Structure formats: C-alpha cells, structure tokens
Chain A
Amino acid sequence: MATAKDRAAPPAALNDDIGEQKRLELYRTQVTIREAEQRAYDLFLQNLVKGTSHLSLGQEAVAAGFAGAMTKGDLSFCTYRGHAHTLARGVSVEKVLGELMQRDNGLMRGKGGSMHLTSVDHGVMGSYAIIGAHLPIACGAAWRAQYKGAKDVSVCFFGDGTTNIGAFHEALNFAAVWKLPVVFVCENNLYMEYTPIGDVTAVPQPAADRASAYGLERIVIDGNDADVVYRTAQAAFAKARAGKGPSLIECLTYRHSGHSRADPAKYRPEGELDRWKLRDPIKIYRERLLQFGVKEKTIADIDAQVRKVVDDATEACKAAPNPPLDIITTDVYADGGWAWRN
C-alpha cells in the first residue's frame, strides 16, 4: 500500500511514464534534427544545397515528441518545413540531405526537393508547400482509417500562419463533424514568414483560440519541452484511436533561423532570439537527462554518434551522382510514364 510519503514523492525520474529508453530516443531524435538542419544550412552556404530550404532549428521538440508517440502505421503530413518531421519518423539523414542537395541518392531522387519530402514506407505521406492543403488530405487518410476500422492516426503539422487560410477552417470543421482520428499540430513559432503572427490574427493564440469554433478543447503547450509534447501527443492519439475525434494542439516554439534560406530574420526584436535560446529544446532536454541521472558520457556518446551519421551522410551525398535525365518523364501517371495521347 502506498504511504502518504510515496504519494508526495516526485515521479520516479527516468522510470516514470516516459522512461529512460524513450527519453534517450527523444534526445537522439532532437539532436539528429539539430545536426542535420545545421548541416543543411552549412551546405547551403557552400552552394551544395540548392533551391530553398526551411529549417526547424529550435523546433526540434515538436517533431521528436510527436514522432516518439507515434507507432508504425501512423501517418505524418508535413509542410514545406518538413525536414524535422521526416527525420523524426526514421528517414535517414542521407536520404534527406541527398534530396536537399538534389542528388540521385535523395529521398525522391531530386524530383520533389526540400519542400516535398515524402517516405510512404515511414508513414511520411508528404510535405505540402501550399499552405493549408494537407489538413483536408490528413482528414481523408483519417476517414480511410475510420471506414476500415484501422487504429492508425493521421498527424498533420503546420505553422501558425496556416490558421488564417480557408482550408484550415474547412478541415477542422470537417474532422470534427465526421469525428475523424486526426491530430492537428500547430507549431506556433511566432512568425508567419516575416510577419509577427499577432499582427495578422484576430486572437492571441492563432490555433487554440479557434478550437472552440469547432467544439474542440483549447490546448496550448510548451513546444520546446519534448516530454510535454510527447505526453500531449499520447493523449491526443489515445482519443483518436478510441473513436473520439480530432484534436488541435498549439505548440509554442521558436525558429532560430529565418523563414527560409533567403531570410536573415532582421524583423525580430533585439534580444528575442537570445531569450528563446535560453529555452532551446535540446538544452532543456540535456538538462532533463542529467537531472534524471543520465551520465554525461551517455549524452556525449549520442552526440558523437549523431555527428558521425551526419558527417557520413554529407560525404555520401557529395559523392552521389546527379539524377539521370531519364527520370524527367517517369511517374507522371500510374503506368510509370507521361503519355497523354496515343
């Protein structure tokens, strides 16, 4: 029988509901995203990452926490800021960097590019570059699960700016009316591209303050604490799997870099970035691990292993050939080709 003293005790550290193994996984995922995104930026400066890229530096905990709570078969729908969510589902750094570098070893062999990372085998059902488009698509995948009696959840990630486009509102209403097993995750990083989200939105919390319009609970969480994200995700997934419908979760976070590679983010007030860096998700999580008794060496080993993975991936991508020209006309149609006439 539990005594009053036991009940008053703090959670049993690493062996609480999350546990040591999951925490080390959440840490590794965040560090992998951090290192891969930083490398993508460095490679861009060397003119080896082409096109555009939208980094998730500073937002790693959202991707890690949600992916950590997903099981095989759950589906991710991402935006053009989708590298983090793709990596978090287990897609290799080489495949992601290869696509950013537009090489033949890329995830889609250079046919999609940074904004469209897709790995169906990992449940990454696409990264969508038209704001809002994928919310209804995630509803459709969830409809299929509902119709088939499958237990998978469709998880749809988007930024704060998405909350002001029509598809967001259509999808929220649709999902609520049909009670679909879909979880909408707003990463509120305070800026829609270059403009503060508060300057262009009628309510303080762009996602959560709209939830009541669709009969949903108002949920705002610390998106820089992977434990908080993980627990929130678990609760939303359990609700979805139980047939109790969608959730809308607003994660407060901050991007350390500009909107895209073209943006130096000079619109930010002085000191804002520094303040958020004190709440860097990886810093928070490293301290959490130490606090729970994980050895410095264990953490350092993970850091070193991830660094090596990213280094090896970089070298593999630099050595990889360009995509062959014969894929230009493949996979326009399901027959593998592009014929529109006989």
Chain B
Amino acid sequence: MAELTYRDAVIRGIAQEMARDPDVVFLGEDVAKAGGVFKATVGLFEQFGPLRVRDTPISEQAIMGAAMGAAMTGLRPIAEIMFSDFFAVCFDYIANEFPKSRYMSNGQVKCPLVVRTGNGAGSRFGAQHSQSVENWCMMIPGLKVVAPSSPVDVIGLLAASVRDPDPVIFLEHKSLYATKGEVPDGEIVDKLGTAKIVKPGKDATICALALMVPRALEAAEKLKAEHGIDAEVVDVRSLVPLDTQTILGSVARTHRLFTVEENPRLCGWGAEIVSIVADEAFYDLDGPPVRITTPHIPLPAADILEDAVLPTPQRIAETVRRSLGS
C-alpha cells in the first residue's frame, strides 16, 4: 500500500498495461519526451522507448485515426487528447468511426482502443479548456465512457479499459491530478460498468462523477454533522456501461435521488439516471429527483466566476437539505 497522486496513478496504470502487453502503444501531443502537459506520462518514454511511446504533431484527427487503424489491425493503442474540449476537432472519430465500424461491418471490424483526455474545470482556463464533455460521448452507441475519481480507480479502470475489446473514452479530471489516495501494491484491474458506493447512507442517494465525487462526499459530511442527514454517495465511475442496478438499489434504500453534474444542464447524464429511476423505481421515491448541475452556460475563466457556477459541497448539501425539508 502506498499513497499516490491521481497523476502518478495514470502513469502507473499505463505502465502496468504496457509492461503486460507489448501490443499496447501510446501516442499523443507532448506525451513522450516532455512527459505530458499535465505530467501524467512522465517516465513512460524512458521506460518503454520511442517505438511504443510516440509524440505526434498537433493533429487530433491523425492521432485518433492512427489509433483506430492500429486497433483495427491488432494493436491496443492508448491515444491522448490533451484537453477533452479538443474532441470537437476530431469528433468524427468519436461519433462516426470508432463506434460504428463494428456494427456497419456486421462484426468484422474491431476497435479496441482507449482515448485518455484531461476533462473538467477548476483550472481557470476558460470555456475552451475546462469543459466536462462526458455527455458528448455518452450519447453515442458503440462507445464506452469512464471517468474515475480516485488514484486506485484510475489504475484499475484504465487497465480494464485497455483490456476491453471496445473503444473506451477515459476522462481524467484535471483538478484531480494532484489529489492523493491509498493504492495497493501489485497489479490492479477493475471492472467497467460498475458504480461504487463510496459512502453508505440511508436518507438520500447522491450520484456523482469525477471531481464531483469528493465534493459530494464533503457535502455528505456536512449534512451528517450539521443536519443529521445520512446521505449515500454513489461514484458512478462508468457512464457506459451504466451500473443502473447499484443506483436503483441505493434509491430503493434511501428513497431520494440527487445527481451532481459538472457538465452544463441540458442532456446531462444525470437526466438519464433520473429518467431511469423515474421509469423503474418511481414508487421507491419519497420526493422528486433533483439534478445539481453547472448552469447552461459556457464556463467563465475568472476564479471567482468559475467557483460560483460549479457545484460546490455547500450547494450540494444545501440542495439536499432543502429538498428533504430538514
């Protein structure tokens, strides 16, 4: 057991899989010699060499296409798109190519690749380097979409993503890179499509993802300490496949549902979860499901403005408290 940062967990996760399987290769902008703009790939070039860890030009379409061509013909590529906002310049691969090639070819073409990317706000970078774009990916049939919140989950879910036979979008949260957590020694492999109850509780279910998980946990502590409300926090971890059973099971115990989303309001993943719970567990609910989101705006850059729009522990706790009428 060792304490590791989320950033170092990314390095360890990639290294674990590259050491295991010589078909795992890694490409992206500044990822090799420079070790990544977030320093989340430091040492990989030195450890695995220039044939397996490759710097690319600023050509997101080339990165994505090359990963796909390699995956189709037998490699297990990991591609890095530096900021998830840049998905917009290579979205053809995300929307049209990776997820549809198997289906359109009636199962002939395979596409086992991972796209890692820095997602989310908190760095004061403004509207084009701060977005949470998981919903852009979740809506496309054929993709898998993963967003870990802790170092141990980074390693385990990254390993599961690399070993998965489908294209996986792996969203690392930029504001979590410096956070720390306990990580066991040895190989770590988790399972996609599994949510995790990170704090059990009986009064309300709070579903959160990535940076919103530690914020939901802090909110749960406040609710307990200040209002005696015992909230359960579910780290959704994987949007596709979505572990609806864990969420439905939690709501069956707590009878209230809250979702905490960093993404702008419309068509957020929380809406999908609320819809599923409304369809399938309506009579388990003692009150309306509530979505806590960033407003439907582009993100502002200034710290004071950005802090005002992202869900905070205070806002989460206050929303839950008010909704429960305590």
Contact = CB atoms under 8 A, between A and B. Distances in A.
Interface of A: 75, 107-109, 111-113, 116, 118-121, 125-126, 128, 130, 132-145, 147-148, 154, 166-167, 170-171, 173-174, 177-178, 327, 330-336, 338-342
16 contacts: A119-B108, A125-B72, A126-B109, A133-B65, A133-B93, A136-B63, A140-B67, A148-B74, A166-B61, A167-B61, A167-B62, A170-B61, A333-B166, A334-B165, A338-B141, A341-B242
Contact of A116 (B52, B74, B75, B104): B104
Contact of B68 (A137, A173, A331, A339): A137
Contact of B101 (A75, A126, A145): A126
Interface residues of B, number: 52
A225 B191 CA distance: 56
Contacts of B62: 136, 139, 167, 170-171, 173-174
A116 B96 CA distance: 12
B65 A111 contact: no
A340 B141 contact: yes
Contacts of A339: 241
Contacts of B71: 140
B142 interface: yes
A174 B243 contact: no
A137 B65 contact: yes
Contacts of B56: 174
B44 interface: no
Interface of B: 25, 51-52, 54, 56-57, 59, 61-75, 77, 92-93, 96-97, 101-110, 112, 141-142, 144, 164-166, 193, 240-245, 276
A138 B74 CA distance: 13
A327 B103 CA distance: 10
Which one of B65, B74, B77, B108 has the greatest number of beta carbons of chain A within 10 Å? Answer: B65
Contact of A108 (B51, B106, B276): B106
Nearest to B77: A140
Contacts of B68: 136-137, 140
Contacts of B142: 332-333
Contact of B104 (A108, A135, A142, A170): A108
A141 B72 contact: yes
Contacts of A133: 61, 65, 92-93, 96-97
B165 A154 contact: no
Contacts of A107: 106
Contact of A136 (B52, B61, B75, B193): B61
A140 B72 contact: yes
Nearest to A120: B108
A137 B97 contact: yes
Contacts of A147: 25, 51-52, 70, 75
A334 B110 contact: yes
A341 B57 CA distance: 37
Contact of B66 (A108, A118, A121, A143): A143
A197 B241 CA distance: 45
